[in-house]
Structure 1
Amino acid sequence: MLATVLIALLAGAATVGARAASTDGTLRVCADPQNMPFSNEKGEGFENKLVDVIAGKLDLHVVYTWLPQVVGHVATLPDDTDCDILMGYAQGTGMIEDTNPYYRTSYVLIYRQNDKSLAGVESLADERLKSKTIGILARTPPVSIMAMNGLMANARSFEVMGDRSSGDAAAAVIAAVASGEIDAGILWGPLGGYYAQAAKVPLALVPLVKEKAGPATIYGITMGVRPNEPEWKHKLNKLIAENQADINVMLSEYNVPLLDENGNLIKTSTAER
């Protein structure tokens, strides 16, 4: 939740009750109520769709606890929250127990496809970026990498203001790139891919998988679960493994850049059409 952010945005920590998962026919889910393409109260996000798949496979009724995410802060749950899964949890944070990743993705560099001056850029270490105005969401990991590569002099920071979601800020970055107001933008992959689809001009999305220093740019995204419930975790891992191909197709419908364990882009049947 990172995203929903990100990683810090997407990360969550849960302190929950001792009720065994899903013993009463209910799947209790913690997710963001206003954070497309991840989730919303209308059930339109890909995390909502994945929850529906899990609930359908296990014949459970879904009940949400809405947990708004804040850029730059780690989400926490109150002690009396009783959720079976926390959606969009970044693997490896070590804050709570989590499942195997159901997708891997990275931050992406976004620029206009007709901008030949940026053709072939694969890393923020590319010297061509030093003369470019680059949009970035404040307090996200790539800010540090940009600073290390001397890219902050021309950077433009976009803030998530008040009760607006990270999607609003991401859409603003995309609009600024498309209009030529800025030369490029850096966004969390699912945000960049989703909002780039609606851009007025074709945009190139380059997964930032070749950075040599600084914070990680690639993350496996999992579901957070309560500790000491190995059977529930195993059940979720089994569902992820058995449905991975369908999950990938679903994510590709939201234009999420999917990566394998080596950081290579995965093509799905939907992406190839």
Structure 2
Amino acid sequence: MKTTTHIFTALTLGLGMASVHAEQPTLKVCTAENEMPYSNKAGEGFENKLAQYLAEQLGRKLETVTWTDPRYFIRDFVDKGLCDVVVGVDQGDPRLLTTVPYYRSGYVFITRKGDDLDLQNWDSDVLQKAKRIAFIPGTPAETMLRAKGRYNDMFNYQQELVGFKSKRNQYIKYDTEKLVNEVASGKAEVAVLWGPAAARYVQSSTTPLTMTVIPDNNQRADGEKVGFHYSTSMGVRKGDVALLEQLNTLIRNAEDDFTEILEAEGIPLLDEPDTALSMN
């Protein structure tokens, strides 16, 4: 009788554990199929690591939903309920409900450490003398190169950097790793890139490189401010206030864990401005 009771109890516990696992809710996170160093299908990006951390902390099973084109994934994936969270979006992205920022970073100048260039801001003589400056069009780097009269000088060089593997109606992709390697190999004197996108490749370069965060006090020729520091949040579907509040609580309570993941990537981290902190 006692043996039968033990068997019954063990079966009950086993069924109970199976039920717990079966009922564990899923956290569907939208990530890019091939947008390193953020994420890829193999889970090698730092946003992949953040997604895994989120799922663990929320007690959910991670389901990664990958997209290939950044222009449409919110409309085609998030809005349709195919995924719940986007790990990296601009703070205040109007297409989503966004969390409090979990990090702030900036654009950087990347140079070879051995060149020992005096390059702290856009007024540096280095930028006037450089024969090749690697940058991605449509970013603040282009705006400032235009303001400083160097954009046309770099036009032909820029055509060498773009990955023209896209057909009509597909976005043109620039490979950040390639632009970092342009500096490492000596083909370019300077690269101007978003710090989080470049940090991994700066760290892994066999040629020692330096990243200098660009000050956030720049203006276009007409006096309009050009931003170089930005805050990154997570995004959820509009209306999903419950998940938003869960994520906000986690971000606030686990700040050190987020920082550890980002610093391991080599990402330059900046303090949030006082105005942003007061809003959070």
The equivalent residue for 1:188 is: 194
For the pair 1:203 / 2:209, whether they are aligned, the reply is: yes
The equivalent residue for 2:128 is: 130
Q: CA deviation at 1:83?
A: 1.8
Q: CA deviation at 1:30?
A: 0.9
8 A Cα contact 2:216 2:227, kept in partner: no
Deviates more, 1:242-251 or 1:88-97: 88-97
Structure 2 Cα separation of the partners of residues 170 and 47 of structure 1: 16
For the pair 1:89 / 2:89, whether they are aligned, the reply is: yes
What's the % identity of the aligned pairs?
29
**Secondary structure in 2 aligned to 1:176?**
helix
**Secondary structure in 1 aligned to 2:218?**
coil
Structure showing the higher helix proportion among its residues: 2
Structure 2 Cα separation of the partners of residues 102 and 248 of structure 1: 8
The equivalent residue for 2:182 is: 176
Amino acid corresponding to residue 67 of structure 2 in structure 1: L
Structure 1 Cα separation of the partners of residues 152 and 270 of structure 2: 31
* Residue 162 (structure 1) aligned to one of 165, 169, 182: 165
The unaligned stretches of length 5 or more in structure 1 are: 1-22, 264-273
Deviates more, 1:244-253 or 1:61-70: 61-70
Amino acid corresponding to residue 180 of structure 2 in structure 1: I
Structure 2 Cα separation of the partners of residues 109 and 75 of structure 1: 30
The equivalent residue for 2:40 is: 40
The equivalent residue for 2:235 is: 224
The equivalent residue for 1:102 is: 102
The equivalent residue for 2:266 is: 255
Q: What's the CA shift string for 1:134-193, capped at 9, x where partnerless?
A: 111233232112111222143232324336999972111111111211110011111221
The Cα RMSD (Å) is 2.5
Structure 1 Cα separation of the partners of residues 94 and 171 of structure 2: 25
8 A Cα contact 1:36 1:167, kept in partner: no
8 A Cα contact 2:216 2:229, kept in partner: no
The equivalent residue for 2:248 is: 237
Structure 1 Cα separation of the partners of residues 92 and 144 of structure 2: 20
**Secondary structure in 2 aligned to 1:250?**
helix
Deviates more, 1:133-142 or 1:252-261: 133-142
8 A Cα contact 2:30 2:85, kept in partner: yes
Indicate how the Cα distance of structure 1 residues 139 and 204 shifts in structure 2: closer, same or farther if over 3 A, else same: same
For the pair 1:140 / 2:139, whether they are aligned, the reply is: yes
Name the count of aligned residue pairs: 237
Larger radius of gyration: 2
Q: CA deviation at 1:125?
A: 2.8
Q: CA deviation at 1:222?
A: 0.9
Structure 2 Cα separation of the partners of residues 224 and 261 of structure 1: 18
The unaligned stretches of length 5 or more in structure 2 are: 1-22, 220-224, 275-280
Q: What's the CA shift string for 1:231-268, capped at 9, x where partnerless?
A: 221110111111111111111111111111149xxxxx
**Secondary structure in 2 aligned to 1:237?**
helix
Structure 2 Cα separation of the partners of residues 210 and 218 of structure 1: 6
8 A Cα contact 1:35 1:166, kept in partner: no
Q: CA deviation at 1:46?
A: 1.4
Runs (4+) off by over 4 Å: 163-168
Give the TM-score taking structure 2 as reference length: 0.77
Amino acid corresponding to residue 154 of structure 1 in structure 2: D
The equivalent residue for 2:20 is: none
Structure 1 Cα separation of the partners of residues 44 and 113 of structure 2: 29
**Secondary structure in 1 aligned to 2:151?**
coil
